[in-house]
Structure 1
Amino acid sequence: MALVALAAALVVAFVIAPGRLAADGASSDLADHRHLVEALHSAFIEYWRSGDRDLSPDLARVVDYWFRYHVAKAVIAAVLLVVLVALTVLVWKAFLKAGGLGAVTRAALASAGVLAVMLVLLSLTAVMANIQGAKAPFSSLMPMLTEGATDQEFATTLDQARQQLADASRAGARTPPAIDVMIDDFSRYHAVMGVIATIAAASLLGTSVLLWKRFAGTASSDRRTRRVVGSFGVLSALLTLGLIVLAAANATTAADRGPALLRALNGGL
């Protein structure tokens, strides 16, 4: 029960705490999502007009806040992942020892185990996504550039950025410093996920091998253990394949960074 309570508390903290933890005296207003989007739009106009490669002070304030936000979420998600893995192991061990209990109890344990596995996968996804966001916070803000862009001045600025990027992608011409920074950061954003997905895939592959060894070493008469271990072996193998695909997709995007960034600024993936 202690692990369940801790996991519940961490889920609440994951939703509520990061904005407050990331805000300092100079960025307390950014904890409100609407203010964050408005500040980003205003800062992007300033940055685009400056013609400089270095982020403008206002944009740097937003990006720094978003970096701290992702760090906070990554740490909480990582702790939650550890707790949920421990909880999952305990639940499935209890299921394996539940042979003398009633069918309802066994079904409840199995359901709890499946739910725990799903939460583990969600937590792992959150850890990966927030590490990615912390390594490239500017690119992580890109979806907000196309969010609620009703201000005419900002819409014009964003259209200029899109046009410059489209022209450079077609003709290979020199791009403004701001576009160069955005392209580099966007490439890093996807390269980081490619690395993270590769590491996760390697870890799951090792886990899958261990599970199949355990499966092979389990007596055929112990059908419950063989079913559980075999199911986890299949799941880990499928997840490994999915992560390999994810790593390849992000590596491709990182290499094709200009057109990929243009798609992102147009509201695509």
Structure 2
Amino acid sequence: MGALGTLLAVFIFLAAFGLKLDREYQRGVIFRLGRINGVRGPGVYWILPFIDQKAQLDIRTKTVNIEPQETVTADSVTIRVNAVLYYRILSPDKAINKVENYELAVYQAALTTLRNVVGQNNLDDVLQSRDKINTKVQEIVDEITEPWGIVIERVEMKDVEIPTSMQRAMAKEAEALREKRARLIKASAEQEASIKLAEASQLIVENPVALELRRLQMLTEIGAENNTTTIVMLPSDFLTLAKRLSESIQVDQPKSHQHEDGKG
């Protein structure tokens, strides 16, 4: 019984020692006598004690903060850029077997790729086309890390620092563009006003009575709005027109009376 009890105790110990547990976001890469025997998890599983070894990996999305680094753009402007990269492990066995330190390898690949891609673009492109640069960096780094069983989910440039002298130059350029735009708008408005004035002048020449009627309407409106007596100096042309209209009416009235007398 003593020997049997000892064997039973050893068996229970080995069985318990071989039990492993991985969470939902964890995977275990099993090495048996130095060779990869498979990937286990999540949940509870058992390995051979002293024969199997387990390397545990987290397959959740990880972030890599790329520190600010100096680079020269295609138009020879020295800038400092930083970014953040998101990646996750697709094949735990490759991540642990194909590269010594996958976290450091991903960081170095992202660092050099960001610097190279930014260096291939002009400053304006770096400032205005960040999405394009982010996508390019993501594609290149993803191609590098694919043999390691790692996928790059997203890359985002965070800050772009440019020299102070360049900032002043850009501010002056922006101010000049705003002034130019304002001048163009003003010139366009003046041109449109000139066209309208020319059209109005042509209308006056063709129909001067319309102008006088419009003036009379304006005077009536002013009197109605202020509700007071308004004294104005009428234009001489309008007075002349009014005089002619009055004379015409006076000439017609005697003719009307004569015609009535003849009937009587």
> Is TM-score (shorter-chain normalized) higher than 0.5?
no
Normalized per residue, the structure richer in strand is 2
Higher helix residue share? 1
TM-score normalised per structure 1 = 0.23
Name which one, 1 or 2, has greater alpha-carbon Rg: 2
Instruction: Determine which structure has greater relative contact order: mean sequence separation of CA pairs < 8 Å that are 6+ residues apart, divided by chain length.
Output: 1
